[in-house]
Amino acid sequence: MSRLIVISNRVSTGGGAQGGLAVALSAALREHGGIWFGWSGNETSEFSGQISLERIDGVTTATVDLEEQDIEEYYNGYANRTLWPLFHYRIDLAEYERSFAGGYQRANERFADTVRPLIEPDDLVWVQDYHMFPLGRELRDRGIANRIGFFLHIPWPPRRLLATLPEARALVEGLLDYDLIGFHTEEWLQSFCDYARDELGGIVDEDNVLSALGRKVRLIACPVGIDATEFAALSQNDKARQTFERLQESAVGRTLIVGVDRLDYSKGLEERFLGYERFLTEHPAERKEVVLLQIAPPSRGTVDSYQRIRSTLEGLAGRINGAHAALDWVPIRYVNQGYPREMLAGVYRASKVGLVTPLRDGMNLVAKEYVAAQDPDDPGVLILSRFAGAAEQMQEAILINPHSAEEISDALRQAISMPREERIERWRKLMNTVVEQDVMWWLKRFTDALEAIPASQSAFIDA
Ligand code: ADQ
């Protein structure tokens, strides 16, 4: 079995917001042996390429500090102000600045210089996400002939949207130096193919191998999962039970509806609040029978669009509560805080409706966690946006268009009155998928596909 070199913006060997993913990547690194490389999260006055090696729970991590200008242009700039909004179809929020593009390229060159000496000839190299698009090419330029895979955790935008990015063509050309590119869904994969065909004259064969500009890269749709068995067990532990009881007590017999998201404009929180408000006004008889608990810890607070969405939501929650609250009832409990995973599991289990309404989402792991945490004899109902990658696998949820307040309102009504047998039937099918296509399944599917590629296929096919 080849050693694995995982490369991502941040390195985390467990816990944190991306708990499941970090745990899975750590498990793969323990099994294959190898190194997890990335930015330390720290700033240095002058970039030195000095690597900090650590061994945590059987996993070797290697991290490097970046200069303030790199962090500003590469991370806060190109990654969070340019690529994130564009890839979530929000060109209205995307900022196109040459300095960001330059800083992004420089940081990737620095990563390549730093990680290069750690890579041995038979290692599989696996680059994660939109922070690192150019890394494959940079490694090739430094003589790395290993198999290199790339996985994108966010959507791939339609061709005409991507074309608004000044560096779009260079970005996609750079991706041709990978051997394998993974997307969460067929839809994101097809958008990528559209661009490669129309803008680069590429050809995609029946095995999803793209040939363009004299190079070949294999494409796969490989949806990420959660550690479903572990999460289901978590929902039964003491801390989860305490949270469950506390919530049940405070809801005093009302139906709890839950939303759990990083505070991000892609998650459709504003539209969710408006849909819920519509439900309150359209169904006066059921009004005081429900409570929406929205948990949304702030993220990327230095970026203006994140400050704006935060204040918009505070205003909206205040207005809805002001207009509808009674002496003994507040319609929205809006909490800006992160919680340990076992508490979240208790929250999901206590909630009869899971409301997951992103406007765009690469996958969305909350939808899967909500399902995994349910009581098999009395499960809650998942309402899920059609525009989350997870919708491709989770057809038994109530699927909605998150832009329509009416659809959200109708779905809430349907979920709240759904008979137990139907809830159980839908949940069983959802749970089967969540368990079968879990995070270890994802990991194996990707690493098997990478290992199956003849060594260094991405070397120039015509050269
Ligand atoms: P995110 O945009 O962060 O991930 P998501 O997939 O929902 O979105 O994962 C969020 C994680 O954070 C979940 O595990 C959730 O439990 C946790 N979390 C959210 N709120 C929390 C809170 N208040 N307290 C504690 N934990 C909280 C990106 C992409 C997604 C893709 C993932 C993985 O945007 O589309 O699913 O990567 O590929």
Other Cβ atoms closer than 10 A to 75:
23
The residues that are catalytic are: 153, 361
CATH number for the segment(s) 4-225+440-451: 3.40.50.2000
Q: Where are the beta strands (DSSP E) in 296-403?
A: 332-335, 353-356, 381-385, 398-400
pLDDT value at residue 122: 93
Rounded to the nearest whole angstrom, what is the distance from the C-alpha of residue 367 to the centroid of ligand 1? Answer: 10
**Residue closest by Cα to atom 19 of ligand 1:** 261
372 lines ligand 1 (CB under 6 A): no
Confidence of residue 456 (pLDDT cuts 50, 70, 90): low
Reported as a single tens digit per residue, the pLDDT across 180-196 is 999 999 999 999 999 99
> Which of 365, 385, 442 has the most ligand 1 atoms within 8 A of CB, as the residue to mutate?
365
* Ligand 1 atom, smallest distance to 17 CA: 12
* Ligand 1 atom, smallest distance to 264 CA: 2
How is residue 354 written in tokens?
A: 């899971």
Domain ranges of the chain: 4-225+440-451, 228-437
C-alpha–C-alpha distance, residues 251 and 104, integer Å: 48
pLDDT value at residue 57: 82
356 lines ligand 1 (CB under 6 A): no
Q: Decide if pLDDT at 19 tops 60.
A: no
Alpha-carbon distances of 237 from 17, 240, 241, rounded to whole Å: 19, 5, 6
**Residue closest by Cα to atom 28 of ligand 1:** 153
C-alpha–C-alpha distance, residues 167 and 351, integer Å: 45
17 lines ligand 1 (CB under 6 A): yes
Q: In this structure, are strands 124-128 and 59-67 parallel, antiparallel, or unpaired? A: unpaired
Decide if 4-225+440-451 and 228-437 have a common fold.
yes
Other Cβ atoms closer than 10 A to 427:
22
CA-based torsion, 135, 136, 141, 142: positive or negative: positive
Reported as a single tens digit per residue, the pLDDT across 238-263 is 999 999 999 999 988 999 999 999 99
Q: To which H or E segment does residue 312 belong?
A: helix 304-324
Confidence of residue 460 (pLDDT cuts 50, 70, 90): very low
Question: What ipTM was reported for this prediction?
Answer: 0.98
pLDDT value at residue 24: 80
153 lines ligand 1 (CB under 6 A): yes
* Ligand 1 atom, smallest distance to 260 CA: 20
Burial class (CB in 10 A: 0-12, 13-18, 19+), 346: buried
The whole-number average pLDDT for the span 28-51 is 94
**Residue closest by Cα to atom 27 of ligand 1:** 17
Q: Which of 127, 130, 128, 126 is nearest to 87 (CA)?
A: 130
Confidence of residue 14 (pLDDT cuts 50, 70, 90): low
Q: Where are the beta strands (DSSP E) in 321-402?
A: 332-335, 353-356, 381-385, 398-400
One-letter-per-residue 3-state SS of 191-218: HHHHHHHHHHCCEECCCCEEEECCEEEE
Q: What pTM was computed for the model?
A: 0.96
The whole-number average pLDDT for the span 382-391 is 98
363 lines ligand 1 (CB under 6 A): yes
439 lines ligand 1 (CB under 6 A): no
**Residue closest by Cα to atom 15 of ligand 1:** 366
Rounded to the nearest 5°, which phi and psi values hold at 418?
-70, 130
Least confident segment among 8-22, 82-96, 98-112: 8-22
Burial class (CB in 10 A: 0-12, 13-18, 19+), 463: exposed
**Domain spanning 228-437: CATH 3.30.365.10:** no
Rounded to the nearest whole angstrom, what is the distance from the C-alpha of residue 18 to the centroid of ligand 1? Answer: 6
C-alpha–C-alpha distance, residues 460 and 365, integer Å: 37
C-alpha–C-alpha distance, residues 260 and 277, integer Å: 18
**Residue closest by Cα to atom 37 of ligand 1:** 153
The whole-number average pLDDT for the span 362-373 is 97
> Which of 263, 309, 364 has the most ligand 1 atoms within 8 A of CB, as the residue to mutate?
364
Determine the 3-state secondary structure of 383 from DSSP: strand
